[in-house]
Amino acid sequence: MGKLQEAAERKIRDICRRYVDEKTPLMMILSDIQNEYGYIPLEVQEVVSEETGISVAEIYGVVTFYSFFSLTPKGKYVIGCCLGTACYVKGGQQVIDRFSELLHIAPGETTEDGLFTLDALRCIGACGIAPAVTINGTVYPKMTASRVNEVIATYLIEEEKAKGVAAE
Ligand code: FES
């Protein structure tokens, strides 16, 4: 978002005012902002602070605690690797390490081309199919490190096809 544009700032203030009667509005406000813009940078947190009277430190704490919120723009494809107990014991760490190695990004980062973001998640409630990975809401059950290449390749092929269509 860079320096906050007037229209964006107005919209953020409007979102805050939606919840003015709520006792604990912060999660609702931040969820709406995350859904609308895809991330919640510091300058946005400052506006939320002005509107709600909640300190920027507290808002920052919430944004950085929950993996659903992000301080930076996410990639086109958001890869969520579950590292909850069930997934961890079934090899979740090897899976995320392989994504990390292949995409040259650490968990929480986005590839330079803006295509992939890698996130480490806590239990997503799918322990029966551990280790679980989600990519933009599609769940990959019983994921293995050796399938990571193939999964990434399917998204890269989609991208190439989309570019081909755009070039026609
Ligand atoms: S621990 Fe991964 S889905 Fe529950």
Identify the residue with better confidence: 88 or 74.
88
Average pLDDT over residues 67-74: 85
Asked if 121 and 87 count as a contact pair (C-beta separation under 8 A), the reply is: no
Ligand 1 binding pocket (C-beta < 6 A) is 82, 84-87, 123-127, 130, 132
Residue 84 alpha carbon to ligand 1 centre in Å: 5
Q: Is 136 left (phi over 0), alpha (psi -120 to 50) or beta?
A: left
Mean pLDDT of 72-85: 93
> According to the model, what pLDDT value does residue 168 have?
65
Closest CA to 128 of 96, 79, 82: 82
pLDDT band for position 9 (50/70/90)?
A: very high
> Is the pLDDT at 61 greater than 90, yes or no?
yes
pLDDT in tens, 94-116: 999 999 999 999 998 999 999 99
Which CATH architecture describes the domain 77-167? 3-Layer(aba) Sandwich (3.40)
Best of 124, 133, 142 for a ligand 1 pocket test (most atoms within 8 Å of beta carbon): 124
Query: Which sequence spans correspond to the domains of the chain?
Result: 6-65, 77-167
According to the model, what pLDDT value does residue 2 have? 52
Q: How far apart are the first and last CA of the chain?
A: 32
More confident call, 57 vs 37 = 57
CB neighbours of residue 15 within 10 Å: 23
Q: How far apart are CA 21 and CA 5, in angstroms?
A: 27
What DSSP letter does each residue of 54-97 carry, written as one string? --HHHHHHHHHHSTTS-SS---SEEEEEE-SHHHHHTTHHHHHH
Q: What pLDDT band is residue 4 in, cutting at 50, 70 and 90?
A: confident
Residues 138, 149: Cα–Cα separation, whole Å:
17
Residue nearest to atom 1 of ligand 1 (CA): 84
Q: Are 83 and 118 in contact (CB under 8 A)?
A: no
118 CA from centroid of ligand 1 (Å)? 17
User: pLDDT class for 13, splitting at 50, 70, 90?
Assistant: very high
Give the pLDDT confidence score for residue 21 in this predicted structure: 93
pLDDT tens digits along 121-159? 989 999 999 999 999 989 999 999 999 999 999 999 999
